[in-house]
Amino acid sequence: MGNYRFILSGGGTGGHIYPAIAIANELKQRYPDAEFLFVGAKDKMEMEKVPQAGYKIEGLWISGIQRRLTVKNVLFPLKLISSLLRARKIVKQFQPHVAIGTGGFASGALLKMAASANVPCVLQEQNSFAGITNKVLAKNAKVICVAYDNMERFFPKGTVVAKTGNPVRSDLIDIKVGKDEASAFFGLQASQPILLVLGGSLGARRINQLIEKELDFFKELGIQVLWQCGKLYYEEYKKYDSENVKVKAFLNKMDFAYAAADIIISRAGAGSVSELCLVGKPTVFIPSPNVAEDHQTKNAEALVKDDAALLIEEKDLDADFEMVFKRLVTSKEEQKNLAVNISKLALPSATSDIADLIEGIMKMCDRINKKREEVSHLPRSKWKF
């Protein structure tokens, strides 16, 4: 059947947007004639990123609740009502066969209205601590796709929870470039250890402050640094670009960056964690403490318990970083153990597994609809499904 209609929503951050795009790409490959529509928040990055990926998007007037008293909080009830009404109209006009949500407040409004219209709903929860939107929507979902064990505890009893993993960019599933070529691409020497520093596309202020402070320490250890400082901080830190320190606002060729790296320092967003499991390099996580429900720390802790990564909280960086990092750099055995253990947690078929579940739901609905047509002329008392 080629005329399926898929409606997807996930936004606010790349961690919600890119999984939704990856799922859409997989479904489009399977159903080239299908129609796709994204729904996001009007002033968020999905309004730019989704069209760049080749999909249509509708915007809702919605935003999250701030942690302090602001005008945005006062407007929240009005925004919520507006978004629910707009989402209901979009669902009615598009008439999707399946609704897919990957988190964010726009996703909440859309899937709430899709469920009320009896559209089968699929949720994708990226983090080890379920977000409030997916917890609220769970009771109406056909299936919830997760990336960690024991996620059932966040959802109503009887909810179907499937461990699929998080969708990641396809070029990381099978990195073909070698360390020599990748190192040369960035102007670094493959014969010397390379530290890859990742703070997200916008950058992480505390990680950047740490790297700036420790540049002499890295030099003493003979470590080269490939430093993605983020576009917000590039002008501040580009002065440190040198033969052994490469400062980048953004890394467009992440397969090359991962191939060049011997050790990685990273935030612990769900997408980053899933990528790093595939990459299989020793990693030090420095989670952001400024995210909902401290989910980055929980994501990192889920790996630490399996001896698959190291974790240093921001508050402990000044006291612990040099000791922890020097121990890692000087212990080939610890590096090997971390690399082996993080690789064991990789789920490279996440996107196709999620699409398989969506296909299963569509086929089940098709069978039910066909059966209804067959018995539609009979009294309801004789309907059997």
Q: Are residues 9 and 146 in the same domain?
A: yes
Q: Are residues 310 and 359 in the same domain?
A: no
Dihedral angle at the C-alpha atoms of 139, 141, 142, 145, nearest 10 degrees?
-110
Q: Are residues 363 and 278 in the same domain?
A: no
C-alpha–C-alpha distance, residues 350 and 26, integer Å: 11
Kindly state the tokens that stand for 220.
Answer: 């003493």
Q: How are beta strands 161-163 and 263-266 bridged, if at all?
A: unpaired
Can you name the residues that pair with 263 across neighbouring β-strands?
195
Binding site per annotation, positions: 13-15, 127, 169, 201, 296
The pLDDT assigned to 371 comes to: 66
What single string gives the DSSP state of each residue in 149-187? TTGGGGS-TT--EEE------GGGTT----HHHHHHHTT
Range of the domain at 233: 171-344
Residue ranges with strand state E in 61-201: 98-101, 121-125, 143-146, 161-163, 194-198
End-to-end CA distance of the chain: 22
Q: Are residues 327 and 213 in the same domain?
A: yes
Q: Are residues 66 and 208 in the same domain?
A: no
Q: Are residues 109 and 152 in the same domain?
A: yes
Q: What is the pLDDT along the chain (385 residues), one digit of tens a residue?
A: 458 999 999 887 778 898 999 999 999 999 999 999 999 999 888 999 999 999 999 999 887 655 555 556 667 678 788 899 999 999 999 999 999 999 888 899 999 999 999 999 999 999 999 988 899 999 999 999 999 999 999 999 989 999 999 998 777 888 889 999 999 999 999 999 999 999 877 789 999 999 999 999 999 999 999 999 998 999 999 999 999 999 999 898 999 999 999 999 999 999 999 999 999 999 999 999 988 788 999 999 999 999 999 999 999 999 999 999 999 999 999 999 999 999 999 999 999 999 999 999 998 887 876 766 665 566 656 555 5
Q: Are residues 186 and 248 in the same domain?
A: yes
Q: Which residue bears the tokens 């499904």?
A: 385
Kindly state the tokens that stand for 214.
Answer: 């420790």
Q: Are residues 320 and 177 in the same domain?
A: yes
Neighbours of 192 (CB within 10 A): 12
Structural domains in the chain (count): 2
Amino acid at position 129, single letter: F
Kindly state the tokens that stand for 104.
Answer: 């964010």
CATH number for the domain spanning 53: value is: 3.40.50.2000
Q: What element of type H or E holds 36? A: strand 35-41
Residue 146, phi then psi, degrees to nearest 5: -125, 170
Q: Are residues 340 and 355 in the same domain?
A: no
Binding site per annotation, positions for UDP-N-acetyl-alpha-D-glucosamine: 13-15, 127, 169, 201, 296
Q: Are residues 156 and 256 in the same domain?
A: no
Residues 133, 104 contacting (CB under 8 angstroms): yes
Can you name the residues that pair with 196 across neighbouring β-strands?
226, 264
Q: Are residues 366 and 332 in the same domain?
A: no
Q: Are residues 21 and 82 in the same domain?
A: yes
